[in-house]
Amino acid sequence: MLSFLLLACLPKPDPPQAVPVLPATSAPLYTRAPGASPDPVVAGLAADLPWDETLSGAAAALGLAHSQHPLLEGHEVQWAAYRAGWPHPILSFGIEQVAEGETPTRLLTGLKLSKTGQIGLARARHGGIDTWVLLVGEVLLDLAPFARHHEAGDALSIQWPADVVWTHIRVRAASPSGQVLLGPTFRMEEPGEWVVEVQQVVGDRAVDLARAPIYVGVIEPADAPLELARPLTTGGAKEIQRLATDGLDALRHLVEAPSLAPEPMLETSARKALSEWMGGEGISDPVARMAGLGYGDSPVAELRCHAVSINACLDDLYWSVDSRIHLLDPSYENVGVAGGTREGNVMLVVDLGHE
């Protein structure tokens, strides 16, 4: 009788279908992997949706990282996607916690996908709680798989089907030293972190089709580049300006570029551009504007971003070829930053120059 009571008090093992099965959170290739989840609970919930294993690997990584603190930042989502091997745009993300073995009730509510939409969906378990993460991505151009890591001197070729509907496709790469190379094939002689970008360009309009970091002769970092404290969108324009300036310096320090010194004339220029932008006006020419404020004899650059937070804004600048080469350029010494919010999103203008 005692033996029976002891056995009766033992916790019952989870049935096989209740134990989370996680897709790989990192991969050596950038590639799509459409299919069905190996986790029966996830597969049942995503049965009629375009589930992708690569994107779901990113969702799994985020679920594991945030099982105790369920709050996601856009830059963390982007980094998890790159680590899992997803180079395509991410449109939205969400997180929901439920009791062990239950399914989320809000995460998929109202979900609408375009014909090119894909989802990443995974759950992670900690302390009797299941953390579900949903990522919504978009595959605008189906790329052939390509490696995330290379040796110095390797060639990288970005390829896509010959019958794609996109025209005017431009492929570029930013080297660690800020040189921009035109593809689709690159010889990567310089060790460090590269960024490869695929866009459709018509006139002055560019649509991002894919973007990814490539690591040449180095080991990639384990964490996302930005580590600013939350919350990031409170405190008004001055607080946004301060946090953004700190974030700019944090990114520049990754490549040992010097910190930026705030400069009143550049701040005046950035505030004017932000006012024009938020007012729906055409934004004045930044070179002419900064020249009129005393920066006529030296190179200048203006960076602009619009995102859900300061981190997400700076993350966009960091991974974009056009803005990255200026953001990390050690020759820039001075900065003017202007920031504001519109409909809950951050709008940021960064003017760079040197004496």
Task: Summarize pLDDT for 31-41 with one digit per residue, the tens.
Answer: 999 999 999 99
Least confident residue range of 34-43, 217-226, 275-284, 346-355: 217-226
In the predicted structure, residue 141 carries a pLDDT above the cut 60: yes
If you search the block for the tokens 């080297």, which residue do you land on? 175
The pTM of this model reads 0.90
The pLDDT of residue 331 is above 50: yes
The pLDDT of residue 334: 96
Among 83-87, 152-156, 168-172, 307-311, the least confident range: 307-311
Q: Are 311 and 322 in contact (CB under 8 A)?
A: no
If one compares 154 and 345, the residue with the highest pLDDT of the two is 154
- Could you identify the residue written with the tokens 């799994």? 60
Least confident of 50-59, 136-145, 274-283, 319-328: 274-283
Q: What is the length of the chain?
A: 355
Q: At what angle do helices 74-84 and 310-319 cross, to 10 degrees?
A: 40
pLDDT over 70 at 315, yes or no: yes
- pLDDT at 271 exceeding the cut of 50: yes
Mean pLDDT of the chain: 90
Residues 130, 102 contacting (CB under 8 angstroms): yes
What are the tens digits of pLDDT across the range 39-85? 999 999 999 999 999 999 999 999 999 988 888 888 899 999 999 99
Whether the CB-CB separation of 76 and 140 falls below 8 Å is answered with: no
Domains and CATH numbers, the chain: 10-138 (no CATH), 146-216 (2.60.40), 236-353 (3.40.33.10)
> How many whole angstroms separate alpha carbon 76 and alpha carbon 237?
24
Instruction: Look at 135 and 233; give whichever has higher pLDDT.
Output: 135
Q: What is the pLDDT confidence band of residue 234, given thresholds at 50, 70 and 90?
A: low
